[in-house]
Structure 1
Amino acid sequence: MQQAEETSTPATSPSRPGLGDERASARTPQRTPERIGTLLTLLLERPISLYAAAVLRIGYGFLYLAFLLREFPHRNEIWGPGSPWTPALAKQLFDQTGWASILTLSDSRAYFEVCYTAALVISALFMLGWRTRAVSVLFAVVVTSFHAKAIYMTDGGDTLILLMVLYLVVTACGRRWSLDARRTRLRASAGKTVRLPMDQASGELRRHLRDARLTVVTVLHNCGMLVIAAQVCFLYGSAGLYKVQGAAWGNGTALHYALNLDVFQPWPGLSAMADEHDLLLAIACYLTVLLQVAFPFVLFSRLKYPVLTMLLGMHVGIAVFLGLPLFSGAMIVADAAFLPDRFYRSLGRLWRRPVRGSGSGGMADASREPRALVPAQSEPAG
């Protein structure tokens, strides 16, 4: 199954709901059966948050590619034959934990270099959205293998990326802002859709099979995006509740201790300067706990936008002051799943506006949605 075969959508389709879109039906009271019917229709027929899924694909593909490039000089000591955590030790751990890694299949340096090069290429292809359906599986294998091979050197950022790429396998993350989507637009505009002659019976059968396949893909995508949302909510909620139980967060001194740990001091002078402001650090402690605990409860209100903005500032501060850019990047990308698709469509329009002004009409036309080949479903997920 190719990603490009599943990306046809109507030119004038209604706004698609995202994970956090406010629906018009909420303005009028609905009976329970009507609400259940609305939810089933949303789950079975309309893929949600296609642009958010694309942002997750691009974000995690870029983060892992940057991570592999950053560790390129040290790859042999971390994952390769020169690592103190040898394949034999890793296999002993795998027998107990059930993990697996393609890096433990051979002790050869040449084999490791081939695997590392393949990981770089697969990460780039996943980020660009080329043959996403197949490449997403390969990318999940890459992330799982590298994570398992050096599991004692990972942190929360690595674990979150691992979970997200596993969830993205079942989503339609290549339907927007990808090479797959571009290829489908070009095919539709060139009129290369080939319709083979068929009798009425076989035509009906193929139509039913195609609709069934698209329904399955849509359900998998929607379930995958809902699991991603639930994972992020659980992460924030549990982190906030754990902090509430700690005395250092209760008295506002947790960040003071973190800033004075050598392992969390990428720039000691900057950490020392921040540590001088006791009141601001205490406010930041209380605000962090409040944001994390409140996050799951504000998703369906307008409060989510200021909360997401403050969380963005919090993660940027963690990256700069505590030297955890991979963790911060993984959390920022995860938060992007809660922005509605209309936000990303508006970004796309802002991006195309200067393109039209420069006279590049071809690119502006290429961004339009092609007509649907399957009228039964307004937007099949791929």
Structure 2
Amino acid sequence: MSDKDALLESNLPILYSTLTKKEGILFKLYVIAVTIFLWTGYTLMVSYTRQMTPKDELYSSSTVVFSSECAKFLITLFYVYAGSETLQKGNELIKFEFFSKPYELVKMAVPSLAYALQNNLDFVALSNLDASVYQVFSQLKIPFTAIFMMLFLRRQFSLRRWFSIFQLCVGLALVELDISKFHKNSKEENNLDNKIERNSLTGLFCVFCACITSSFAGVYFEKMLKDGSSNTSFWIRNLQMYFCGVISALLGCFLKDYDQIFERGFLFGYNIKVVCIILFLSFGGIYISLIMKHLDNLYKSFASSLSIIMVVIFSLIIFDNYHVTFLFGFGALLVCLSVILYNSTEK
């Protein structure tokens, strides 16, 4: 084995390698369970802070995205050095991967930009939709994922799988009908004097765009992680993407909230809840990478379906601005069943 190969293999941390030695049912359940927890916590926390915080005290969403990208970069950097025998070897590895392979860095800029855009779209969507509504409509990424997997990964899908996508669309339509009926009869719309104005059409449009960018970035990143022609390791791939993500998120701060940041400061509105959002978003991104590497995009759908149930349950406890009806419950059930059918079919 050459020194170059030894250097490339030395960057996997002990904890990570121990977990992935047995890529069986326990490892899959572990990754899916943690991902469900992170997605549920992130969705509820963002929805709570954006809806319950007065507008003049609200934090900037772009700074949260930037902070989470920095956190992901630092966490990944820690694992790179933790897997290296010495600090010098870690420096050599990073120097080799970043400065000797500029084209690889450029390729990883594509999903990082898409994820940064998706994160900002998610904030806008959650500011205009209930947490449970956002989770249900975000399942549109499943058909988009199937399309991108056909284009990039040459995957083929059976009629049963396409039927599950159709079933998903029916479930979403039922949920939308229930939402429209609810907003028509809602008494809460008259009590938003000190809260952010909510626009359902804006929220749904942002969810639609976020689903496209998320599906594209997910399939593209999966292709990059599973690329057998490259010796680039898992953590280096993530380090490359998060490096680009930090730059794109910083650019988003200047383009989206420059005036607010300049007047109020970068950390305006930050508290323990915002820190939790950053942590949920940071570790959530890393666990999504684990799913891409050792499972696939379809397992994301399964995790997301269970996350819907968790968000709805906790939304009933935390929020008092929505009540689940039979129509909503039946539509959400169809969504969950369609995602399960989508994942249970081999092709």
Higher relative contact order (CA 8 A, sep 6+): 2
TM over 0.5: no
Question: Which structure has the greater CA radius of gyration?
Answer: 1
Band of TM-score, shorter chain: under 0.3
TM-score, normalised by the number of residues in structure 2: 0.26
What is the TM-score of this pair, normalised by structure 1? 0.24
- Greater share of residues in helix: 2
